[in-house]
Structures are given as C-alpha cells and as structure tokens.
Amino acid sequence: MRSANRYLKTLVLAFVCLLGVSLGPSSAAKDSPLAVKQTSERTVAIDVQTQKAVDEWAVEEKQLLTKIDRNERALKRSAWEQKKTGEYLATLEKKMVELREKAAEMEKINAELLPILDCGLERLATFVQGDLPFDKAGRLKRIENAANTLNDPDMDLLAKTRALFDAVARETDFGYSVDIQETEVEIEGRPIRVNLLKVGRVGLYALTMDAEKAYVWNGQQNRYLPVNSSVRAIDEAVQIVERIRIVELTKLPMGRPAKAPAAGGGRDE
C-alpha cells in the first residue's frame, strides 16, 4: 500500500515538472510579435463574428417586432369584428322580430282586403257590362287583366290594389272624355257603318258615313234610336272632335239620365 502511494506521488511530481517545462516556453512565446499579431487577429475575427451575430439578431428582432405588431393589429381587428358581428346579430334579430310582426299584420290585411278588392272588381265589371257600348271589348279586357293580377298568388297586396285602382281610374277618365270611333253597329236589326261619338257618359251617338242619319243610344231600351231633328248638331260635334271644325257650342239630344241606385243597394229615398 505504501509502495502504491509512493508511486502515485512520483507520477504527480513528474507531471508537475513536465507542465512547468511546457509552460515556460509558452509564456515566452506569448511576448513575441508573432504571438501578439495572432492574438490581435483572433480578437478582430471574434469581434467581426460577434458584430455579425449582433446584426443578424437585430434583423431577426426587427422581423419579430413587425410580426408581433401585425399579430396585435390582427387581434384588435378580430376583436372589433367579433364586437360588430354581435351588434349585427342583435340588430338582425330585432329586424326579424319586426318583419315577423309585419308579416302577420300583412296576412291579416290580406285576409280582410283581398275580398274587398275582388268584390270591387266584380262590381266594376258589372257596371261596364251595362254601360255605354263604346270600346266595351277593350274596357272588359283591362278588367280581365286586373282580375288576373288579383288571382295571381305571386303578386303582393300593393300590386293587386294598384291593378284595381288603375281599372277604376280608367273608367273614371272614360266618363270625362270625348271620343270618336269609326265602326259597325247594329241599328234596326242590321249592321251599319257609322262614326260613333261618345260624350263622356252623357250620350253615345251614331252618325252614318254620309251624315244623313243619326242615332242616339238608349240605355233603357238597350238599342240605338233614330234622331231626326239633331242630325246637323251631331255632325258638327263629330267634325269638332275630328278637328275639322272649330270648337263651338252644339246642342246634342240628351235623354233623361237613369237614376243611380242608392249606396249599399238600399231603396232610393
């Protein structure tokens, strides 16, 4: 055991001696110009590498900061969109409630108003059927178009109401207009070519093409009756409407107007 310890001590002493010998020349070499130059070069190289690493880190830092800023703005944008989406949803829910209420109200109005529109159009058609026989086919065709609109399920209430009002307005204008039409009418059981003169709803007159005979429509008898004493006046009226003659007062034969029924279908008072 002692021999082993002595051997270890000898090895340690030898290692220290060798180390001292090797350090001696190295310390001396450090002071040489070449060693100083090499040390300086290594220092500069280390500084260059360090600066390069610093520059690379600065670029990376800038990129990271830019990315962070972009992400922060994206997060703010997302938060704003989320807030706005919530507000939009709340507004839409409110509007949906209002629309449902309006839809229910419209259904109620449709249920009450559509029968009135149908009844009004039927009464208008009946009126035209018994009115002056002037352009009756065209007038009934317009009423038929209005009926098609009322019977169309794709049409809304406004369009249906407008269709009836337009038909009523046309018939109202018919009662205030003066028109002339060359056509054939049945007089005394045979067709005759005439100039048909309509003066509102006051009178409907037929003048033969040679202006020799004239007739007036009698609504009570539902036929044309001859007019002998007013042929000249009817001819003058036709010329005025056709703008052949200047406008002047003309005496036209007027029948006694039929008494209109009281509103609501009651008896006349």
Query: pLDDT tens across 113-135, in order?
Result: 889 999 999 999 999 998 999 98
CB-based contact 192:184 (threshold 8 Å):
yes
Give dist(CA 269, CA 267) in Å, integer: 6
Exposure class string for 6-31: b at 16+ Cβ within 10 A, else e: eeeeeeeeeeeeeeeeeeeeeeeeee
| Tokens 């209002």 -> residue | 98
Res 233: pLDDT: 87
Flag residues of the chain having pLDDT under 50. Answer: 2, 4, 7-8, 11-28, 247-249, 257, 260-269
Residue 128: exposure state from Cβ atoms within 10 A (0-12, 13-18, ≥19): middle
> Token pair for residue 148?
């098609």
Q: What is the pTM of this model?
A: 0.55
Contact criterion met (CB below 8 Å) for 207 and 235: yes
> In the structure encoding, which two tokens stand for residue 222, read together?
């539902």
pLDDT given at position 159: 92
Contact of 190 with 121, CB cutoff 8 Å: no
Residues making up the chain, counted from first to last = 269
Give the whole-angstrom CA distance, residue 158 versus residue 142.
18
SS (H, E, C) the chain: CHHHHHHHHHHHHHHHHHHHHHHHHHHHHHCCHHHHHHHHHHHHHHHHHHHHHHHHHHHHHHHHHHHHHHHHHHHHHHHHHHHHHHHHHHHHHHHHHHHHHHHHHHHHHHHHHHHHHHHHHHHHHHHHHCCCCCCHHHHHHHHHHHHHHHCCCCCCHHHHHHHHHHHHHHHHHHCCCEEEEEEEEEECCEEEEEEEEEECCCEEEEEECCCCCEEEEECCCCEEEEECCCHHHHHHHHHHHCCCCCCCCCCCCCCCCCCCCCHHHCCCC
pLDDT of residue 19: 46
Residue 150 near residue 121 (C-beta atoms within 8 A): yes
Angle at 95 between CA 92 and CA 96, to 5 degrees: 85
